Structure 1
């Protein structure tokens, strides 16, 4: 059954399923404009997801062929996956922050096996055991790497400029750059009075940046061609504080449900990461590799129960927290260690 929610003021959300994923669905938002409807995100590239999106747009009183544009909060396949099919069906433009457009272009142009080899090498440098790395090397050797999501994602044809209003006739939708979850993640501030009169400064389409109950994944910005030492967690915390200062009346996220009290939720997330960094520094009284650090960190289940792919994500998140501690002068990499070992200072 198509699940559509009307949020008032020409805004709807459509629950587009994500296959075989505990998140369940992406909330794709439809925004009426004077030139026609525009989507914020599109959902995963899957036949059932496409059928759900088409039916959902119809339930909002429009047709897929009438869509004028797609504004993508970030490049992940549960947000950007169907953008190309929307453009094929309607001629709609696709807009994305240039940092994430770079990721899409790089992924399309990159030989898939190289990406898998890069991840295997990164895991080895992080201290992952060989029995964890060997399936990746086998996938590269056998050619199974071609199943990596995002290899055929649509290239955007418009650039989102942070701080500027998007060119949407009759609407005031301002882009706010909120890196952390991805390098080019954006939130979108609908600078219009709340249709139900809720107090606050308009509404926020928050993508994955601000969710009511989930802490977004903050891992490393991966790029085989770039050796820049980034600080994704620092980017995310700075972005959170910027969003908290907006004082919006309501948040319309890409997962779970709409909610108010954005400031309270921002405070919870800032406290969560502060506590996590404190605990991590305590762990580093004993020098640890990123893999060993991830094994000892607190997750939503014991390390032994975390699936293979999720362990890779956990190690990336551990490394993002380690980099933050290093930048704050609270930890350091042990010179000459291989795999790299970190300790508190």
Structure 2
């Protein structure tokens, strides 16, 4: 159970509660509480876990309210450390749950998916990326044995949709939805268009979810949908969304991880520079043709490739593919004709 000191009062009817993420180096999700004239509203809820639930409910008590009083839940994106407890909050309070339509589609698709379809899709996708047989074998074994445990199948279906640019129906507050695709197709930031309580320079406050974090660049991988062959460009979407957020020039950013910070335009510039440097470095690696798997092996991660766990390697390959997609779209790389699995080279 958290002590009252674990809750941060950001002033002006806004608090944050650090809700733990089990076995994750991020440590916790900052769930934000926003007071409104119809009752308190949550921005995200945290991971679906008993300890996380106990922490969230104790944190709400420390903020002077309780889970039964929650009027609504605004979900920045569908990932389980943000949306996981939404259904339990709704059961305890009758609150509505709102999410961008693109991510609501992901939740619906995941709940309805036939697990074997996902195992087949993932195995085929990794094989096409050049994954070695010893990495594919566990997926094929799980498929053959009928083992099927997919994350997200308990995630709550939202009952409201967040429309980009919409001034949300929260009496007594001015909170506008800002669509920021990239980390997920339906990620949204929420711009509190009110004078900062400490009169900081800038325009209100921004609940930034995972889009804009003070020290971390969020994961950008290809959007996964076995039934949709659309060639998306998540990294391009993310970079465009960063520019959009910088133009808002909020006085303070309230992210879902780490800590609140100021000077969003400076942080955006740093992230844009980071990705431009990374794209240049990856293009330099492609002087020798590489498959997405081979590129992922050579990319810089927070630990050496042999130390990266199995599931995290799948995420890393998706990130390599997103960067390759961006390089191809920019005309800086191209697939090598006749290669199987497909290799890419610099242009």
TM range (shorter): over 0.9
Structure 1 distance, partners of 2:245, 2:146, is 43
Q: Distance in 2 between matches of 1:103 and 1:262?
A: 29
Superposition deviation, residue 144 in structure 1: 3.0
- Structure 1 CA distance for aligned equivalents of residues 140 and 190 of structure 2: 40
Equivalent residue number for residue 338 of structure 1: 340
Give 3-state SS (helix, strand or coil) of 1:50's partner.
helix
CA distance in 1, matches of 2:155, 2:146: 20
Alpha-carbon separation, structure 1, partners of 2:345 and 2:219: 23
Distance in 2 between residues matched to 1:75 and 1:18, nearest whole Å: 15
Distance 1:61 1:168 in 2: 19
TM-score relative to the length of structure 1: 0.98
Determine the structure 1 residue equivalent to 2:212: 210
Structure 1 unmatched runs, 5+? none
Does 1:63 pair with 2:66? yes
Write out aligned runs for 1:247-258 (5 A).
247-258=249-260
| Distance apart, 1:116 and its partner CA | 2.0
Q: Displacement, 1:152?
A: 1.5
| Stretch of structure 1 that moved more, 34-43 or 106-115 | 106-115
**Equivalence map 1:237-276=2 (5 Å):** 237-276=239-278
Asked whether 1:144 is paired with 2:144, we answer no
Residue 94 of structure 2 corresponds to residue 91 of structure 1: yes
1:74 to 2:74 alignment = no
Query: What is the aligned counterpart of 2:200 among 184, 198, 201?
Result: 198
Task: Provide the rounded CA distance (Å) in 2 between the counterparts of 1:221 and 1:248.
Answer: 29
What is the CA distance between 1:206 and its match in structure 2?
Answer: 0.3
Aligned mate of 2:42, from 39, 44, 56: 39
CA separation in 1, counterparts of 2:146 and 2:22?
Answer: 23
1:26 to 18, 25, 29: 29
1:282-321 equivalences in 2 (<5 Å): 282-321=284-323
Aligned residues: 344
Structure 2 equivalent of residue 180 of structure 1: 182
Task: Tell me which residue corresponds to 2:54.
Answer: 51
Q: What is the rounded CA distance, in whole Å, between the counterparts of 2:74 and 2:306 in structure 1?
A: 39
Partner of 1:319: helix, strand, or coil? helix
Give, in whole Å, the separation in 1 of the partners of 2:146 and 2:163: 38
Q: How many Å apart are 1:324 and its aligned residue? A: 0.3
Structure 2 distance, partners of 1:133, 1:291, is 12
Separation in structure 1 between the aligned mates of residue 263 and residue 147 of structure 2, nearest angstrom: 45
- SS of the aligned residue for 2:158 comes to coil
- Write the distance in 2 (CA, Å) between the matches of 1:320 and 1:41: 26
Deviation at 1:136, TM superposition (A): 1.5
Deviations, residues 102-129 of structure 1 (Å, cap 9, x unaligned): 0000000001221122111111000000
After superposition, the C-alpha distances for 1:311-330 in whole angstroms (9 at most, x for unaligned) are 11111000000000100111
CA RMSD of aligned residues (A): 0.8
Tell me what 1:322 maps to. 324
Q: What is the TM-score when the length of structure 2 is the normalising length?
A: 0.98
- Report which stretch shifted further, 136-145 or 239-248: 136-145
CA distance in 1, matches of 2:197, 2:148: 48
How far does residue 248 in structure 1 lie from its aligned partner after superposition? 0.6
Distance between the aligned counterparts of 1:97 and 1:143, measured in 2?
A: 33
1:44 positional shift: 0.4
Q: Which residue of 2 aligns with 1:14?
A: 17
Structure 1 residue aligned with 2:155: 153
Distance 1:89 1:63 in 2: 10
The 1-side partners of 2:68 and 2:146 are apart by 37
Judge which range, 178-187 or 1-10, deviates more. 1-10
Shift of 1:84: 0.4
